[in-house]
């Protein structure tokens, strides 16, 4: 057991990008919620999405 808490993908139905208010894509491998419209990836830590722009990674 890795000790990581799994993200509940049903949460995606309620979450939108805080910048563009568009839908998000769940990247299970990177544990991120991706906003293609804003070109940002929001991290998921201990199963909880961190929806702060300052914490997001800019997409290449």
Distance CA 20, CA 47 (A): 23
Domain boundaries, the chain: 9-44
pLDDT in tens, 18-54: 999 999 999 999 999 999 999 999 999 998 999 999 9
Query: Residue 38's CB: how many other CB atoms inside 10 A?
Result: 19
So what's the pLDDT on residue 1? Answer: 45
Model pTM score: 0.86
Considering only residues 40 and 3, tell me which one the structure prediction assigns the higher pLDDT: 40
So what's the pLDDT on residue 4? Answer: 63
Report, as an integer, the average pLDDT of 6-22.
89
């Amino acid at each position: 057991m890795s000790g990581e808490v799994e993200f509940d993908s049903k949460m995606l139905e309620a979450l939108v990008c805080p910048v563009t208010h568009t839908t998000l894509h769940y990247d299970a491998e990177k544990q991120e919620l991706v906003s293609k419209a804003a070109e940002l990836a929001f991290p998921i830590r201990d199963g909880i999405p961190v929806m702060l722009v300052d914490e997001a990674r800019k997409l290449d």
